[in-house]
Structure 1
Amino acid sequence: MSDTDRPTLTKAPEMYVHYCEQGGCTEWGSWGNSPSPAVATRWWCFEHFPHKSNEQDQALRRKLEATYGGNTIQ
């Protein structure tokens, strides 16, 4: 299929808006997860994403500590 076989767009594509599913969080939900195509995707911000690797979680904690004070980064 080539681009010439497709009909022209008659309206602008719609953007899907996903916000973090964590209660009280108003951040953009850019991290989605779904166990199968039959289950609706759930969206989280990086801070609340429950499927982070341990290395990603440690990097986030160091970043938050550096930003908001607390323990010195070692």
Structure 2
Amino acid sequence: MSDIDKPTLTNAPQMYVHYCENEGCKQWGGWGNSPSPAVPTRSWCFAHFPHKSYEQEQALRQKLEAAERRNIIQ
């Protein structure tokens, strides 16, 4: 299909806003997954995303520790 064959866009695309599913968290839920198209997608912020790799967990822990040290110093 070429660009010429596509119909013109009549309505503006609608953005789906999703936040972290962790209770009390107001962060953007940019990390999500669904096991199949029939199951609704669940979304989390990176801090609460349950499917992180070991390396991602370590990087997050280091980032949080560094932020905590800066708060103590100030």
- Normalising by the residue count of structure 1, what TM-score does the alignment of the two structures yield? 0.87
In structure 1, C-alpha distance between the alignment counterparts of 2:39 and 2:11, rounded to whole Å: 29
In structure 2, C-alpha distance between the alignment counterparts of 1:3 and 1:59, rounded to whole Å: 42
What residue number does 2:17 align with? 17
In structure 1, C-alpha distance between the alignment counterparts of 2:36 and 2:10, rounded to whole Å: 32
Q: Identity rate of aligned residues, in percent?
A: 73
In structure 2, C-alpha distance between the alignment counterparts of 1:18 and 1:11, rounded to whole Å: 21
2:14 maps to amino acid:
E
In structure 1, C-alpha distance between the alignment counterparts of 2:3 and 2:16, rounded to whole Å: 24
Give the C-alpha shift of residue 44 in structure 1: 0.3
2:67 maps to amino acid:
T
Where is the helix percentage greater, Structure 1 or Structure 2? 2
Structure 1 gap ranges (5+): none
Structure 2 gap ranges (5+): none
What residue number does 1:59 align with? 59
Q: Which runs of 4+ in 1 moved over 4 A?
A: none
1:47 maps to amino acid:
A
What residue number does 1:50 align with? 50
What residue number does 1:39 align with? 39
